[in-house]
Structure 1
Amino acid sequence: MRAGMGYIKALALIVLVCFLFGFAEYRHKARKISDVEVSFTGGENLYVTEEVVNKLLIQNESAGSSVDKEILDLNRVESLLNSHEMIENAEVFVTLDGKLEAIVSQRKPIGRVMGNTSFYLDRNGKVMPLSQNYSARVPLMLGFNEKTAPEAYSVANFIKNDLFLREHITSIHRLDNAKLEMSVRDRDFKLYFGDTSNVALKFNNFKAFYKKAQKDKKLDTYKKVNLQFGDQVVCTKK
């Protein structure tokens, strides 16, 4: 008899636990979205602001504060954010207290094309529109269009990732023969780069030349510095 009562109590306890768990799960899913919080990777919200992201979320019916967490389609919300022309990637999730959080990574420009149409070339080699909120400090790209701009990706990306080059290269000019020529900050000479082969070698040669010529105080004596000949730098004096 006692054994039977023990089984009954154990069964009743299991049923009660299952009921409470199910009830809690139901209440959790039925809770409304309490708030929306947006954060940017690296702390930067240069090209798209928190206000813009919030508006995108609010405009999406599935992300409204009156929507149950069970109904909320996070994939749809992420797709909405990722479709924005200034956003590279967005992750959206709901916290235990019912807060909708979005972590946004913005696109990063590495060059700015100036011409009949103006736009950025981003770090993935894709065309990126200019922003009304912020102007990136990147080299100008002259003589390019949307079709030819990706040709200079390897060059512009190398400059972006090198502190010395970021400080000294101010523009990349695509010549009529599709070769590249660059301008150097505070210097009169043109830097002839040629085609986009051997990017690291050419730039390393240029850095070595620049530092040596600067030490010898000869930088202002040149009108052209040519990097197209592999392991040597050919200079033309004024």
Structure 2
Amino acid sequence: MKFKRVLKYLFFLTILAFLSFLYSFTSVRNSNKKINKIEVKFEEGTNNFLTHSMVNKLLIQNDATVKNQAKSVIDLYRLEKNVSKNPYIEKAAVFLTIGGVLKSTIKQRTPVARIVSKNGSYYIDKQGVKVPLSKNYSARVMLVSGVENKEDINVVLPLISYILEDNFLQKEIVGIEKSDDGLYQFAVRSGNYKIDFGKLIDVKLKFNKLKAFYNTTYKDKTIQEYKTITLKYHNQVVCTK
């Protein structure tokens, strides 16, 4: 019985040693395997600022493309960090497959407005992050002027979000202009008139007044007679021709 127990123990050690050798051999062989393909996937619904070839050019290590480099020398964390630095990218994931394919999953930033300032023009996304203009893609978003710094962006961003969350306002309001004294005016899609919104107080109340006014004036088609629709006065809409 004791002899059989020793044989079982030796057999177990032999199997363990064999598996360890097999694992080490496979690991070495896998680490020496070269990257044979690069795949870039954009998340569905994101914009087209970047192309697959543009992302491929971001996948650089040691001043060379990662293709044909050994898997063992690939620093996935550094590659992912390098790709994420691109201003058009909100989130990136870079990983390797057993077969030697380097895969990248990219989520591009979604612009919600285009800022036109004294220092140039750029997009912002829903977090207020600046996104440069692109030759590859022009986003159809509302124009915002009079916003010159990060503090201005933080103030106007909730207004932009409110408009985009409302189906009617999203289609109707095409531009926002901020004056030096903090008053806001809107350009609209349905006519040449402007909407004087005033300061960013009682936002929901003002938009409700605007919708009620639209319901009336659209029916009798008088809205096109006005040059300005003012919402900044309490409980009333004032129009000028």
Check conservation: 2:61, 2:79, Cα contact below 8 A: no
Check conservation: 2:209, 2:237, Cα contact below 8 A: no
Q: Displacement, 1:70?
A: 2.8
Alpha-carbon separation, structure 2, partners of 1:40 and 1:198: 40
* Aligned residue number for residue 22 of structure 1: 24
- Structure 2 CA distance for partners of 1:88 and 1:67, relative to 1, 3 Å: same
Q: Displacement, 1:183?
A: 1.0
* Aligned residue number for residue 219 of structure 2: 215
- Structure 2 CA distance for partners of 1:45 and 1:172, relative to 1, 3 Å: closer
* Aligned residue number for residue 163 of structure 2: 159
- Structure 2 CA distance for partners of 1:4 and 1:134, relative to 1, 3 Å: same
- Which stretch shows the higher mean deviation, 13-22 or 206-215? 206-215
Alpha-carbon separation, structure 1, partners of 2:224 and 2:236: 16
* Aligned residue number for residue 79 of structure 1: 81
* Aligned residue number for residue 174 of structure 2: 170
User: How many pairs align?
Assistant: 237
* Aligned residue number for residue 33 of structure 2: 31
Q: Displacement, 1:60?
A: 5.7
Q: 2:49 aligns with which of 38, 41, 47?
A: 47
SS of residue in 2 equivalent to 1:164: helix
Q: Displacement, 1:178?
A: 1.9
TM-score by length of 1: 0.88
- Structure 2 CA distance for partners of 1:131 and 1:99, relative to 1, 3 Å: same
- Structure 2 CA distance for partners of 1:121 and 1:74, relative to 1, 3 Å: same
* Aligned residue number for residue 123 of structure 2: 120
Identical amino acids, percent of aligned pairs = 35
Check conservation: 1:119, 1:130, Cα contact below 8 A: yes
Q: Displacement, 1:219?
A: 1.9
Q: CA RMSD in A?
A: 2.3
- Which stretch shows the higher mean deviation, 217-226 or 30-39? 217-226
Q: Does the alignment pair 1:179 with 2:178?
A: no
SS of residue in 2 equivalent to 1:118: strand
Q: Name segments (4+ residues, structure 1) moved above 6 Å.
A: none
* Aligned residue number for residue 236 of structure 1: 239
> Structure 2: where are the runs of 5+ without partners?
none
Check conservation: 1:121, 1:150, Cα contact below 8 A: no
Q: Displacement, 1:100?
A: 1.0
The one-character-per-residue Cα deviations of 1:174-227 (angstroms, maximum 9, x if unpaired) are 123221100111323211112223333433332333233323433223332222
> Structure 1: where are the runs of 5+ without partners?
none
SS of residue in 2 equivalent to 1:9: helix
Q: Displacement, 1:62?
A: 7.6
Q: Displacement, 1:45?
A: 4.5
Alpha-carbon separation, structure 1, partners of 2:24 and 2:72: 14
Alpha-carbon separation, structure 1, partners of 2:214 and 2:62: 54
* Aligned residue number for residue 7 of structure 2: 5
Report the residue type matching 1:157 in the other structure: S
The one-character-per-residue Cα deviations of 1:119-170 (angstroms, maximum 9, x if unpaired) are 1122111222111111111111123324434431111222233322221111
Alpha-carbon separation, structure 1, partners of 2:117 and 2:29: 58
Report the residue type matching 1:82 in the other structure: S
Report the residue type matching 2:124 in the other structure: L
- Structure 2 CA distance for partners of 1:67 and 1:204, relative to 1, 3 Å: farther
Q: Displacement, 1:233?
A: 4.2
